[in-house]
Protein backbone atom coordinates (compact mmCIF):
# COMPACT_ATOMS: atom_id res chain seq x y z
CA UNK A 1 0.00 0.00 0.00
CA UNK A 2 1.44 3.34 -0.99
CA UNK A 3 2.04 6.10 1.51
CA UNK A 4 -0.29 8.39 -0.46
CA UNK A 5 -3.12 5.84 -0.25
CA UNK A 6 -2.63 5.47 3.50
CA UNK A 7 -2.74 9.24 3.95
CA UNK A 8 -5.92 9.46 1.82
CA UNK A 9 -7.59 6.73 3.84
CA UNK A 10 -6.67 8.33 7.15
CA UNK A 11 -7.89 11.74 6.00
CA UNK A 12 -11.14 10.26 4.63
CA UNK A 13 -11.90 8.32 7.80
CA UNK A 14 -14.41 9.93 10.10
CA UNK A 15 -14.03 9.19 13.78
CA UNK A 16 -16.77 7.04 15.21
CA UNK A 17 -15.69 7.64 18.79
CA UNK A 18 -14.90 10.93 20.50
CA UNK A 19 -12.84 10.97 23.68
CA UNK A 20 -12.70 14.25 25.56
CA UNK A 21 -10.30 14.91 28.41
CA UNK A 22 -12.38 16.73 31.00
CA UNK A 23 -10.57 19.42 33.01
CA UNK A 24 -9.38 17.83 36.27
CA UNK A 25 -11.74 14.94 35.58
CA UNK A 26 -12.52 11.83 33.57
CA UNK A 27 -12.25 10.84 29.95
CA UNK A 28 -15.67 11.41 28.37
CA UNK A 29 -16.17 8.74 25.68
CA UNK A 30 -18.94 9.22 23.12
CA UNK A 31 -19.86 6.84 20.33
CA UNK A 32 -20.21 3.14 19.74
CA UNK A 33 -17.54 1.41 21.80
CA UNK A 34 -16.81 -1.95 23.35
CA UNK A 35 -15.30 -1.78 26.83
CA UNK A 36 -13.47 -4.96 27.83
CA UNK A 37 -11.96 -5.87 31.22
CA UNK A 38 -8.65 -7.66 31.86
CA UNK A 39 -10.39 -11.04 31.55
CA UNK A 40 -12.05 -10.24 28.25
CA UNK A 41 -15.49 -9.64 29.74
CA UNK A 42 -17.49 -6.92 28.05
CA UNK A 43 -19.42 -4.27 29.98
CA UNK A 44 -23.03 -3.90 28.91
CA UNK A 45 -23.24 -0.32 27.72
CA UNK A 46 -26.65 -0.73 26.14
CA UNK A 47 -28.48 2.58 26.02
CA UNK A 48 -25.41 4.60 27.01
CA UNK A 49 -24.40 6.94 24.20
CA UNK A 50 -21.54 8.23 26.37
CA UNK A 51 -19.57 7.13 29.42
CA UNK A 52 -16.97 8.74 31.68
CA UNK A 53 -13.85 6.75 32.42
CA UNK A 54 -11.89 7.49 35.58
CA UNK A 55 -8.59 9.21 34.93
CA UNK A 56 -7.59 9.90 38.53
CA UNK A 57 -7.60 6.32 39.82
CA UNK A 58 -9.71 7.23 42.87
CA UNK A 59 -13.12 5.99 41.72
CA UNK A 60 -14.70 3.08 43.58
CA UNK A 61 -16.54 2.21 40.36
CA UNK A 62 -13.54 1.95 38.05
CA UNK A 63 -13.21 2.04 35.20
CA UNK A 64 -16.07 4.50 35.47
CA UNK A 65 -15.83 7.91 37.11
CA UNK A 66 -17.90 8.27 40.29
CA UNK A 67 -17.12 11.93 40.96
CA UNK A 68 -14.45 11.27 43.60
CA UNK A 69 -11.95 13.32 41.59
CA UNK A 70 -13.95 16.47 42.38
CA UNK A 71 -14.45 15.69 46.06
CA UNK A 72 -10.71 14.96 46.45
CA UNK A 73 -9.61 18.04 44.51
CA UNK A 74 -7.70 15.98 41.96
CA UNK A 75 -5.92 18.24 39.44
CA UNK A 76 -4.63 17.38 36.01
CA UNK A 77 -4.70 19.22 32.74
CA UNK A 78 -3.72 17.69 29.43
CA UNK A 79 -3.31 19.23 26.03
CA UNK A 80 -1.85 17.88 22.82
CA UNK A 81 1.85 18.30 22.25
CA UNK A 82 3.48 18.00 18.83
CA UNK A 83 4.58 14.48 17.97
CA UNK A 84 7.39 13.51 15.67
CA UNK A 85 6.20 12.09 12.33
CA UNK A 86 6.62 8.33 12.03
CA UNK A 87 8.33 7.02 8.93
CA UNK A 88 6.22 4.46 7.07
CA UNK A 89 7.68 1.31 5.61
Comparison of 29 and 55: residue with beta carbon closer to ligand FES: 55
* Shortest distance (Å) from residue 68 CB to ligand FES: 4
Q: Sheet holding 17-21: strands in order across?
A: 17-21, 27-31, 50-53
Return the residue of 68, 80, 81, 89 that touches ligand FES, per CB under 6 A: 68
Among 55, 86, 88, 89, binds ligand FES (CB under 6 A): 55
Give the per-residue contact string, 12-31, with ligand FES (x = CB under 6 A; - = no): -------------xx-----
Task: Check: CB of residue 41 under 8 Å from CB of residue 63.
Answer: no
Total binding residues for ligand FES by CB under 6 A?
12
List residues near ligand FES by CB under 6 A. Answer: 25-26, 54-56, 58-59, 65-69
Amino acid sequence: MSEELVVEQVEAAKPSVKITVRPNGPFRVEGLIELVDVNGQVWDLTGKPAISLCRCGLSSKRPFCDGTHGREGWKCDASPVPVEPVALG
